[in-house]
Chains A and B, each alone.
Chain A
Amino acid sequence: MPKTSSRWLGLLFQVGAVLLALLFTSIILLLVGAKPFQAYERIIYGAFSDMGHISDVLVVWVPLVLVSAGLLITYSTGLWNIGIEGQIALGAIFTVWAMRLLQDSSIPPVLIILVGFLAGMLGGALWAALAGALRVFGGVNEIFGGLGLNFVSTALTIWLIFGPWKRPGVGSMSGTVPFDTSLWLPMVGGSRLSLWSLGLGILGIVVVYFILQGTYFGLRLKAVGKNPRAAFLMGIPTSSYMMLAFILCGVFAGLAGAVQVTGVYHRLIPSISSGYGFLGMLVAMLVNYQAIGAPFVAFLFAALNIGSIQLPIDLKLDSTLSGVLQGALVLFVLLMDGVRRRVLHKK
């Protein structure tokens, strides 16, 4: 069976890609005078040594997997939703907004958090719809539109923190006044992890998997993504589907923003998205836009993020090394995929 052998060959290439990425990162480490294995050991230690670290990894995993889930939808539709960072931020802003409005009322905290989440979804969706409208109706490429909207969202966040929502008398980069602990997502004893947000992350990726694999809607999105002209001639309203893809992705980004607010920072901070939007794009690329791999790769990336905190503490290395490794992984997997295609098909 030639198919099986090509699958094994494919695996070989992917292992090769991972090894190359590690090699590449190791060379960089050697160049800065560090010991690569020691660095990797520290990263693994920092991510998995105890429940506390694992729970911290999961805290990062939740928003990352939500963002990746959303991006799988836009990727499937052939859209590069680079505005995802802004959509996370707007989700966070809307969540904070709703919760600020309600925090002094007599509404039960659970309900306020719930409203916060709904508002976050709405915020992300609106911001995504804006990018979508620019693309679909304005003919502005979503990459440029998204970049622009990211800038606007950053400016908006900063303006809110230093302006209308500033702490009494003080504007601070540390963000707005934290919410009362009753408005925090309940955390598992002693950790920063909330089972609610963990459940949400799992639910999110399952829903997206289901949408893309099993529904007419998902299949049409894919059709639009792979060939909009043919999809249109087949009777799929491509503009509406592109808009829907943006909006749905925005909902997930908004959820991630809401999780950042209710579960992690409990307030609005300047970089509330924590770069998860761009990291999510790497995740989606690495899994070749297949939902099944996303939770695992997101977990790996989250582990790298958390594990690399050890680098500056123990080895005086910059923790952006994890970013180098993440980027290198994506780069080499894409590269090896190209090489594999050349070798296998030559077509």
Chain B
Amino acid sequence: MKVELQQIDKHFGSVHANDHITMTIPAGTIQGILGENGAGKSTLMKILSGFIQADSGVIKLDGKKVVIHTPDQAIHHGIGMLHQDPLDFPPMRVVDNLVVGSPGGLVPNKKEAIAALKKLQERFGFQIDPDAYVETLTVGERQQLEILRLLWLGARVLILDEPTTGISASQRLKLFDTLRKLAADGMTVIFVSHKLEEVEVLCHRIAVFQRGRMVGEAKPPYVTTKLVEMMFGKAITLDERAPCATCDPVLKVEHLEVEDTRLHICDINLEVCRGEVIGLAGMEGSGQRMFLRTLAGLTRPVGGKVIVHDKTLTGKTYASFRKAGVTYVPASRLEEGLISGLSLTEHFILAREQKGFIINRDAAVKETEENIDQFFIRGKPETHVEALSGGNQQRALLALQRQDVDVLLIEHPTRGLDIESSIWIWSKLKARCQLGATIVFISSDLEELLHYSDRILVFFGGKVSEPLDAGTTTVDQLGQLIGGLGMKS
């Protein structure tokens, strides 16, 4: 289906999120939408898929003007959107999830749904158990499920907003294959991403967004530097790696044994030096998160010891870990990291040491302003955190971590952020390392792992690799380890 957007305009308060955007996407095209965080990509897609309404502008499908007020109407017109965060209902079974949004009678026909699901799965090579509970699926599988659901509902335009966030490399390849097949069938695919390499590999054409405007379009062959320039208005290079480790063990793990309902990992041993950065690699759900949470005292290990600053903290509460200087920075910023409905100032009051009983608001605002400046947070002290963009939320989350904390455990520090933000975040983290902090982080981004870690632990199939020296490991080697090749048994 041919999609035409004409003069789409949208304000959020004083922010001009979409500035008279016009673009045409022919049927059978994979259209890339590239831009940094807050460039207006998601806003445009939400307008197209009915989640929000434009202030002005026209949407045409196959040349016919349509009005889309709700996601329901969007799917009725054949437009389906995959969100950054999957919108499914976790405590449900796959088949129920499929049926729940479907039109039709009061009594859904499950048999029919299962048959349709099977057919679609065969076509794309997916393997999702219709009777599995959605919460047991990986992010990648949930995404596959969501695509199937949209197809089943009759989508002919598929919008994917940062779909590769949080999925494994193999799932990403499968996703790209699927999208290519769909496009070949005449489906229109809109692929929103800030990851250059993905867009370059996949898309038939690319539109670049910057600060609410569409600043340029490109067709293959793509010139990377040109795209980067369009995105940021300037050229950017990665910082050189600057290891800062001289070994003074801060965090020790001895014969640690962790388990949950799916996994059991034995005998993890690790000694982390002062100032060192340890990356945890592995496919989603391979145990790295469980390990990280154990280091924070959030999950109790089955056996072994966790020692921080020579103090054995095994079995102690999260509070004791915090007291020992450990902090945990979760990946889901608005679910676990920040508190929606509270302002930045209030976050800083909460994160800082209590002085007396009564809050000194003026001092708190002042401190917040300093942090806003220092961490380039685009917001005001009274801004509620949920109103910040993803990158700003992540910067705020980082700013909240107290300076006296010297063991930072971070889940996906740059997930969903554009290159510029990522580089900036890591420069801040590295600066803390230089001051003596130790970082253990999880990432599914191989480049990030290799570039910023000193050593890397790879998790696969209930096993953990020996620490790898990040400096002498290549992307391919790491990729193979994550995929289970070469893992010592």
Chains A and B share a contact (CB less than 8 Å): yes
Q: Taking beta carbons and an 8 Å cutoff, which residues of A are in contact with B?
A: 2-3, 214-217, 219-220, 222-223, 226-227, 229-237, 346-347
B87 part of interface (Cβ distance < 8 Å)? no
> Are B53 and A219 in contact, with the CB atoms below 8 A?
no
| Additional A-B contact list (7), CB under 8 Å, known A233-B298, A234-B400 | A214-B358, A216-B357, A227-B339, A232-B318, A233-B328, A236-B350, A347-B51
Distance (whole angstroms) from the CB of B82 to the closest CB of chain A: 18
C-alpha gap A105/B336 in the complex (Å): 57
Contact with A along B33-58 (1 / 0, CB 8 A): 00000000000000000011100000
Residues of A within 8 A of B351 (CB): 234
> Are A235 and B339 in contact, with the CB atoms below 8 A?
no
Q: Which 7 residue pairs across A and B have the least CB separation, nearest first?
A: A227-B339, A226-B341, A229-B336, A216-B354, A226-B339, A346-B52, A230-B339
B112 part of interface (Cβ distance < 8 Å)? no
C-alpha gap A107/B330 in the complex (Å): 59
> Are A227 and B340 in contact, with the CB atoms below 8 A?
yes
Residues of B within 8 A of A229 (CB): 335-336
Interface size on B, residues (CB 8 A): 29
Given contacts A214-B359, A216-B359, A346-B52, contact A233 B342 (CB under 8 A): no
Q: Which residue of B lies closest to A224 (CB)?
A: B339
C-alpha gap A229/B337 in the complex (Å): 8
- Residue of A3, A219, A235 touching B359 (CB-CB under 8 A): A219
Contact with A along B278-322 (1 / 0, CB 8 A): 000000000000000000001000000000000000000011001
C-alpha gap A216/B349 in the complex (Å): 8
B14 part of interface (Cβ distance < 8 Å)? yes
Q: Which residue of A lies closest to B352 (CB)?
A: A216
C-alpha gap A2/B15 in the complex (Å): 11
B162 part of interface (Cβ distance < 8 Å)? no
> Are A230 and B53 in contact, with the CB atoms below 8 A?
no
Residues of B within 8 A of A235 (CB): 318-319, 322
> Are B350 and A215 in contact, with the CB atoms below 8 A?
no
Q: Taking beta carbons and an 8 Å cutoff, which residues of B are in contact with A?
A: 13-14, 51-53, 298, 318-319, 322, 328, 330, 335-342, 346, 349-351, 354, 357-359, 361, 400
Main secondary structure of the interface of A (DSSP, over half): helix
17 sample A-B contacts, Cβ–Cβ < 8 Å, listed by A number: A215-B358, A219-B349, A219-B359, A222-B341, A223-B339, A223-B346, A226-B339, A227-B336, A227-B339, A227-B340, A230-B338, A231-B350, A233-B318, A233-B328, A346-B52, A346-B53, A347-B52
Q: Which residue of B lies closest to A347 (CB)?
A: B52
Residues of A within 8 A of B53 (CB): 346
C-alpha gap A3/B19 in the complex (Å): 21
Residues of A within 8 A of B319 (CB): 235, 237
Residues of A within 8 A of B400 (CB): 234
C-alpha gap A214/B51 in the complex (Å): 38
Residues of A within 8 A of B350 (CB): 219-220, 223, 231, 234, 236
C-alpha gap A156/B328 in the complex (Å): 47
C-alpha gap A230/B328 in the complex (Å): 10
Residues of B within 8 A of A219 (CB): 342, 346, 349-350, 359
Distance (whole angstroms) from the CB of A103 to the closest CB of chain B: 38
Distance (whole angstroms) from the CB of A10 to the closest CB of chain B: 15
Residues of B within 8 A of A220 (CB): 350
Residues of B within 8 A of A347 (CB): 51-52
Residues of A within 8 A of B51 (CB): 347
Residues of A within 8 A of B13 (CB): 2-3
Q: Which residue of B lies closest to A220 (CB)?
A: B350
C-alpha gap A288/B78 in the complex (Å): 40
C-alpha gap A2/B14 in the complex (Å): 8
